[in-house]
Every structure is written in structure tokens, then in C-alpha cells.
Chain A
């Protein structure tokens, strides 16, 4: 059925990966290489860098991330509904079901809002 189309995407993905690599190799032929120890230090506005960047980091938006997972899954669930909406036949049934789903989503959003999950902390 659609195998040809997905093969085309696979080939395209391969080309898209190879293209940057080719430009890197091309630039390797043209560019100078003059190693100096100071060049390879981490850039920190000219100061001598201190410490490591990979430290435990306060992610202040983790609640957004939790909500995001929930809403993203619900958005994916809504896609088939939106696609068959016109061609299904019993449009009232689909409309009522869809509205109920959207209202539940909205209620979830209102709950998160009232619980102050939508604040940057």
C-alpha cells in the first residue's frame, strides 16, 4: 500500500543525514588546524571557566512537563475524531462525544489553573 512512500521517506532521511556530513568533510579539506590549548577551553566570556556545567539544575517548569504529557496524548486521541468527523454519518453523536471530550480537557485545564500549576515557580 504505502510501502513505497515510506521507503521514499527512509531514502530521504538518509540523504538528509549524509548532506551535513559531506559538508563537514569538505570543510576538513579547506580549513586550517592550528591547535592551541587555550582555544579548546569552554567559552565563558574570557574568564577561566570554573566548574562543570552538568550540575543538578532547578527545572522550574516540571509541572508544565507533566501537564504536557497528558494534553499531548489527548490531542493525539482527538486526531482520528477530527478526521472522520465529516464522513462518519451520525454527526450528532460524534459532535456530542467530541464536545464532552473537549469539556473534560477544559475542566482539567481549569483544575490545573486553580491548583496554580500554570505558574512559573
Chain B
């Protein structure tokens, strides 16, 4: 009965699409939400450790329940929309912020074979959707009718104009090396070895490209040193000054989801995705004990775990950077990106093209 239903869904393209969208989509939203809750705790804990203090330690073991307490607090808060604000856009901005933050995950593989939509232009889709994230920020800043919010939104726009092109060009280096826009192909390429020992992760082939990508994606996540839209010591809270309650929570969610997205993209493009040296032996060992479907589920769980672990390592570096560096001044940021990072990205692209043509 169940098998027949599964077969019928598998045979019908439209039904398959809808069920994939619902099942994997809910999984992605669950994953992103849990990750955000966890990250708010990690961020405070890491910050505390770097400042030599304790951080949250009252709610649950090691303060692990702190995010839930915060959520329970935020959901009970009164929802205030200022008289001067544009009510419709003010309400829509957090909705779009959340939607645009999770949508890029649709074309990102979570494990070998586990993906919401296996597009042939996956990278282009991811970049396009990720760059939409500026729109809710501008909506929020404009609709609030608050001077600080508007300034925050304008700064976000300036930031967006700066990081976008170096980011796209550095990703293009990866596309040149692999010869495909599909993220599956990119990860598959990285499962090979150089001289039989060194894993062929693209960071080894594209160190300059990764540097440009990383600096640009810090701006994409709008984190210190490039956290222009917020800059809380200058603009109170930037574009979400006027927000309260769940709407504020959604904007915060979107911001942390950008962080999850950026580090996952870095893992998939530069750090071999779900590939770990030696993991292949473990999987083939497991294959002897488990049959078809159970094996697939276990394999997916392990590979997804590897991606999340690598992403968490990158997020730790991001938090470290945030605790170490001061905020850059606004007027130096576009100049920095256009004068230093963009030429670097162009040089990287040229070198990569020549190298690929020579070595193959």
C-alpha cells in the first residue's frame, strides 16, 4: 500500500515536486531554525569565553535552554507598529526576510542525493536568491519611517553594491575548475585525491578565490567588520530599530540563517562538502549491515552531520573575527571592495582559466 503510493508519487513529476517541496522544505526550515537557536547560544558563549566571562549559564545545563527562553519571551511581547510607519510593508518585511533567507537552501545538497530541487543552474539560482536578501532590509528601513532605520537600509545598499561582484567572480573560479554549475558535481569533484593522499578540496586549488569569497561572504552575512545595516553603536539597531516581538525575532532569524547559508556554501564549494578522508570506508563497512533504505538514511545522516560540523567550524571563525576586529568605517568599505578585492578576483579568474586550459 505504502510502496504503491510511493511508486505513484515517484512516477508523477508534479506530485513528486510537491511532496519534495513539502518534506525537504519543512526539513530545511526545521534545520535552519534549530541551527539559529543553537547559534545564538554559541555566539554568546564564544563571546563570553573570549571576554573571559561565563556567558549564559542559568537556564539548563551550560545555559543551553537560553534560546528557548528568549523565544518564549519574544513571542509574548507586544507588537508595536509606529503611527508613522507604512503598516503593510512594515509587516511584510520580516516575512520576506525569512523567506529569502531560507530559499537559497533549496538548491544546496544536504547530503549525497538529498536536495530539494536538483537544478542545472544551481549556483546561479543560489547567488540570485542570496542577493535578494537586501530587499527586506530596505523594505524594513523605509517602512519604519525612522531616521536610524533608513540610514541602516541605505548602508545595507552600499554594502550590497560592494560585495556582490567579488563574490560572484570568486564563485566563478570554482565553476571554471569543475566545469559545472551543479553543486552535486562540484562536491563530487572534491571527493577525488591529489597524488592519492591530499583530498582535492577546491580550497587547495583556489586559495586566492577562497580568500575573496570569504571576505565577500562576511559582508553578505553583514557581520562585523562589515555589519553596516545594524552597527548598533551608531544606529541603535539599524534597520530593525522599530521592530518588536515576533517581527523582530524573524529579522534576527533571517540574519542568523544568512550566516548558516554562507558557511554551508563555503563548505560545499571549497571544503569538500560531505567528503572526509576515510569516511568512504566507514560507509562501505555500514553497507554490509544495512539494507537499501535504512542504509540511505544512515548515509544521509552521516554526510549531513559532516557538512554541519564543517559549517560550525567556519561559523566559529566568523565569531572569532567578530570578537577580534572593530567595525570598518562605511566610506572605506566600497572603496576596499572595488579597489582591492575586485582586482584580486579578476586576477584569480585569469590565472584559473590559464591553469585549467594548461593542466586540464
Binding site for B on A (CB under 8 A): 2-13, 15-17, 19-21, 23-24, 26-28, 30-34, 39-45, 49, 52-54, 57, 59-61, 64-65, 67-68, 71-72, 75, 78-79, 82-87, 91-92, 94-95, 98-99, 102, 105-106, 109, 112-113, 118-120
Q: Which of B107, B162, B181 contacts A64 (CB 8 A)?
A: B162
**B213 is an interface residue with CB less than 8 A from chain A:** no
Q: Which of A17, A23, A79, A91 contacts B246 (CB 8 A)?
A: A23
**B79 is an interface residue with CB less than 8 A from chain A:** yes
- A13-B103 contact in complex given A30-B76, A72-B165, C-beta closer than 8 Å: yes
Q: Which of B14, B84, B94, B176 contacts A52 (CB 8 A)?
A: B84
B170 to chain A, nearest CB (A): 11
18 pairs from A and B in contact (CB 8 Å cutoff):
A6-B17, A10-B21, A16-B98, A24-B79, A28-B79, A31-B79, A42-B85, A42-B145, A42-B242, A43-B82, A43-B242, A49-B84, A59-B154, A68-B164, A82-B176, A85-B176, A86-B176, A109-B346
- A11-B357 contact in complex given A3-B14, A30-B76, C-beta closer than 8 Å: no
Residues of B within 8 A of A34 (CB): 78
Residues of A within 8 A of B164 (CB): 68, 72
Residues of B within 8 A of A27 (CB): 74-77, 79, 245-246
- A41-B83 contact in complex given A8-B106, A12-B25, C-beta closer than 8 Å: yes
Interface of B is mostly: helix
A52 to chain B, nearest CB (A): 7
Question: Which residue of chain A has the shortest Cβ distance to B81 in the bound complex?
Answer: A40
Interface of A is mostly: helix
B28 to chain A, nearest CB (A): 7
Q: Which of A10, A15, A24, A39 contacts B80 (CB 8 A)?
A: A39
A21 to chain B, nearest CB (A): 6
Q: Are A26 and B181 in contact (CB under 8 A)?
A: no
Q: Are B161 and A8 in contact (CB under 8 A)?
A: no
Q: Which of B171-199 contact A (CB under 8 A)?
A: 172, 175-176, 179-181
Residues of B within 8 A of A26 (CB): 75, 246
Q: Are B245 and A31 in contact (CB under 8 A)?
A: yes
- A16-B102 contact in complex given A3-B14, A8-B20, A31-B77, C-beta closer than 8 Å: yes
**B277 is an interface residue with CB less than 8 A from chain A:** no
**B120 is an interface residue with CB less than 8 A from chain A:** yes
Please report the C-alpha to C-alpha distance between residue A87 and residue B175 in the assembled complex, in whole angstroms. 12
Q: Are B179 and A106 in contact (CB under 8 A)?
A: no
A11 to chain B, nearest CB (A): 3
- A15-B29 contact in complex given A39-B80, A72-B164, A75-B169, C-beta closer than 8 Å: yes
What 5 additional pairs, Cβ within 8 angstroms, besides A12-B106, A102-B353? A7-B21, A68-B161, A75-B168, A86-B356, A109-B343
Which 8 pairs from chain A and chain B are nearest by CB? Answer: A11-B21, A7-B17, A86-B179, A120-B331, A4-B17, A12-B25, A8-B21, A5-B117
Q: Are A95 and B81 in contact (CB under 8 A)?
A: no
Q: Are B179 and A83 in contact (CB under 8 A)?
A: yes
B253 to chain A, nearest CB (A): 8
